[in-house]
Amino acid sequence: MSIIFSLSELGWRPFFRQQLTFEEWESSQPARIIAVHRSNLDVAIDGQTIVIPVIPSMPSLAVGDWILIENNGFQRLLERQSLFSRKAAGSKVSEQLIAANLDTAFIVCSMNQDFNLNRIERYLALVAEAEVEPVIVLTKQDLCPDAEHFIDQVRSIDSTLQILGVNSLDSESLSILHPWCSPGRTVALIGSSGVGKSTLVNGLLGQSQQVTGNIREDDSKGRHTTTGRSLHLTSAGALLLDTPGMREVQLAHCESGVEATFAEITELSEQCQFHDCQHQSEPGCAVKAAILTGKIDQRRLDSYRKLLREQAMNSASLAEKRSQNKAYTRHIKSVAKSSKRLKQNWE
Ligand SMILES: Nc1nc2c(ncn2[C@@H]2O[C@H](COP(=O)(O)OP(=O)(O)OP(=O)(O)O)[C@@H](O)[C@H]2O)c(=O)[nH]1
Ligand SMILES: [Zn+2]
């Protein structure tokens, strides 16, 4: 089932439009990537969706990317407004792109014993790193006698956050999310297992469906496989990006995201006596002083430290895996070279 989209419904806006040269306006067409497969891309252009082949000279592309095409062939990638990526190990692919040009990430957490502020802060750091607007969606409100208690806790970490309580099983309750789901906007969900993401996705989609139906693609062995597309239309008109990768994003190379999520600690750090203060037992620590006066929560500082450590450890282990892979590749190459030499000598 195919739905016809206009460019503005696909999220086309001045940020992308102004990147085109006059010549590009004349000769090429903007297109949004709605699925990335091994050998081709599904892209939506003004009024239709088409399939274009993946060619080796293409940059890494993600669902949600805007590209220019000419005669149904790839021209160039437009600058992204936001990007979720997973910093993968491996000598060839150092960064696995997950989703591009999202406007909003719904950070989903349930209002029950699974509720966890540290986890929300972890997701906030990821979303800040990707430069996407966060909205905290607290689910299972129907089962919770004191939703305000949970909402207040989230507000205590940042009073400017958008925080909404919902019952994902009730579409009327989800209308509170509509301001972020208007036509042309792109949203995605992030949250732990069991908090109700799938239920929320179903509720937001209502009777609507994937931007186009599944397609069949030949895999490397020539077999047909059916691959789902990742961009869906919500009943309120937004595009909902639902890709498994979003659910597995790791905290690595995310220092600026962590710093942004704990802005009050980062700002206070500038007043610490030592510029590399760890806020533990150093003299003249402004952060410790703020904890003593109750201005900052000890939990906040612990969470900040833990996330900084986690992202540093993940980044380091990825770098190590990368260098191991490089060494392995060098080894394979040298074995191949010497066996070629041997063969030449033999002949
Ligand atoms: N009462 C109630 N139940 C909910 C709500 N949201 C989700 N559930 C239920 O919670 C359970 C888990 O929901 P899922 O949508 O599968 O959770 P998920 O986050 O997608 O979990 P994973 O697929 O493991 O990532 C299901 O039984 C849902 O019906 C809600 O707002 N209210
Ligand atoms: Zn300090």
Q: Is residue 136 part of a domain?
A: yes
Q: Is residue 26 part of a domain?
A: no
178 and 134, same structural domain? yes
- Phi/psi zone of residue 91: left (φ > 0), alpha (ψ -120 to 50 degrees), beta? alpha
Q: Is residue 307 part of a domain?
A: yes
Q: Is residue 334 part of a domain?
A: yes
Ligand nearest to the CA of 167: 1
| Alpha carbons 286 and 272: distance in angstroms, whole number | 5
- Phi/psi zone of residue 207: left (φ > 0), alpha (ψ -120 to 50 degrees), beta? alpha
Please give the ipTM for the structure prediction. Answer: 0.93
Residue nearest to atom 7 of ligand 1 (CA): 196
344 belongs to an annotated ligand binding site: no
Residue nearest to atom 6 of ligand 1 (CA): 196
pLDDT of residue 46: 82
Last residue of a domain, one of 221, 248, 275: 248
296 and 187, same structural domain? no
Is 259's pLDDT higher than 80? Answer: yes
Measured from CB, residues less than 6 Å from any atom of ligand 1 are: 139-140, 142-143, 167-169, 191, 193-199
pLDDT range class, residue 38, cuts 50, 70, 90: confident
Q: Is residue 79 part of a domain?
A: no
272 and 238, same structural domain? no
Residues with Cβ < 8 Å from 91, sequence gap 6 or more?
322, 325, 326, 329
pLDDT of residue 159: 92
CATH code (residue 133): 3.40.50.300
278 and 238, same structural domain? no
316 and 333, same structural domain? yes
Please give the tally of structural domains in the chain.
2
Tell me the percentage of the chain whose pLDDT exceeds 70. 80
233 and 109, same structural domain? yes
204 and 119, same structural domain? yes
Is 205's pLDDT higher than 90? Answer: no
CATH code (residue 328): 1.10.40.50
Pocket test for ligand 1, best of 199, 200, 205, 240 (most atoms within 8 A of CB): 199
244 and 266, same structural domain? no
Of the two residues 89 and 331, the one the predictor is more confident about is 331
Last residue of a domain, one of 223, 248, 273: 248
Q: Is residue 176 part of a domain?
A: yes
Tell me the whole-structure pTM to 2 decimals: 0.83
Angle between helices 298-346 and 117-129 (to 10 degrees): 50
Is 286's pLDDT higher than 60? Answer: yes
Nearest to 195 by CA among 133, 141, 261: 141
pLDDT of residue 218: 45
149-203 pLDDT tens trace: 999 999 999 999 999 999 999 989 999 999 999 999 999 999 888 888 888 988 9
| Alpha carbons 312 and 303: distance in angstroms, whole number | 14
User: How many other CB atoms are there within 10 angstroms of residue 17's CB atom?
Assistant: 13
pLDDT of residue 225: 41
**Which atom of ligand 1 has the smallest separation from the CA of 168?**
31
Last residue of a domain, one of 225, 248, 271: 248
For residue 201, the CA-to-ligand 1 centroid distance in Å is 10
Q: Is residue 18 part of a domain?
A: no
Q: Is residue 57 part of a domain?
A: no
Which amino acid is present at 21? T
User: What DSSP state is assigned to residue 2?
Assistant: B
90 belongs to an annotated ligand binding site: no
219 and 269, same structural domain? no
334 and 316, same structural domain? yes
Concatenate the DSSP letters of all residues of 263-292 into one string. Answer: HHHHHHHTTSSSTT--SSS-TT-HHHHHHH
Residue at token pair 């992030």: 190
**Host domain of residue 262:** 255-340
Q: Do residues 37 and 76 touch, judged by C-beta distance below 8 A?
A: no
For residue 130, the CA-to-ligand 1 centroid distance in Å is 26
184 and 131, same structural domain? yes
327 and 233, same structural domain? no
**Ranges 40-54, 98-112, 182-196, 310-324: which has the least confidence:** 310-324
